[in-house]
């Protein structure tokens, strides 16, 4: 299996999201540790995902499980069985789409521009990965449109997404 992991999953795993309950934190930790054990992380070939991980969690690998995941992703980025890089194409111009691979449908025009890279990686990979989300309600609010274009979503903390 392969996965695209939104940064909020690692943030929750490191207890950096006070709105996440203990069950949500545990689900995120369990999923990140499974990816570290079994591999299957998909990132972009431009370093955008890794830069976001390290900007939010650093390179030290501590103090939490999300920090450890960010360090693991960085350290394993060149090991194909663990982490695979997917080519995505940034768009020039001022439109709402940041990547060619991001679907050009009106229902996604309000989707968070900073999260478009995760969708672009998922769709460009041709592996039909699950995109993991913890507490970012934008993914929940756009789930129907994302699933309609072939993005597989996995909500680790669905209760947290519905109430935000």
Q: Rounded CA gap, 90 and 93, in Å?
A: 10
pTM: 0.94
The domain in which residue 103 lies consists of 3-162
Structure tokens at 14: 């490191």
Residues of the chain under the 70 pLDDT cut: 160-164
Q: Rounded CA gap, 132 and 153, in Å?
A: 6
Q: Rounded CA gap, 64 and 113, in Å?
A: 27
At residue 16, the pLDDT reads: 95
Tens digits of residue pLDDT in 110-130: 999 999 999 999 999 989 999
By the 8 A CB rule, do 82 and 41 touch?
yes
User: Tell me, what CATH number does 78's domain have?
Assistant: 3.40.50
At residue 164, the pLDDT reads: 41
Number of domains in the chain: 1
Structure tokens at 153: 């979503």
Read off the DSSP letter of residue 42: E
Q: Where are the alpha helices (DSSP H) in 62-115?
A: 65-75
Strands 130-133 and 3-5: parallel
């Amino acid at each position: 299996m392969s996965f695209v992991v939104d940064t909020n999953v690692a943030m929750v795993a490191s207890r950096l999201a006070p709105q996440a309950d203990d069950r949500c934190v545990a689900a995120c930790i369990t999923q990140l540790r499974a990816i570290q054990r079994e591999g299957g992380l998909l990132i972009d070939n431009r370093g955008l995902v890794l830069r976001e991980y390290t900007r939010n969690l650093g390179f030290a690998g501590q103090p939490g499980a999300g920090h450890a995941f960010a360090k693991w992703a960085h350290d394993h980025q060149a090991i194909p069985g663990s982490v695979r890089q997917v080519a995505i194409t940034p768009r020039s111009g001022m439109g709402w789409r940041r990547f060619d691979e991001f679907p050009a449908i009106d229902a996604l025009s309000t989707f968070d521009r900073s999260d478009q890279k995760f969708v672009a990686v998922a769709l460009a990979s041709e592996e039909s990965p699950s995109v993991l989300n913890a507490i970012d309600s934008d993914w929940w609010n756009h789930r129907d449109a994302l699933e309609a274009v072939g993005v597989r979503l996995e909500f680790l903390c669905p209760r947290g997404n519905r109430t935000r």
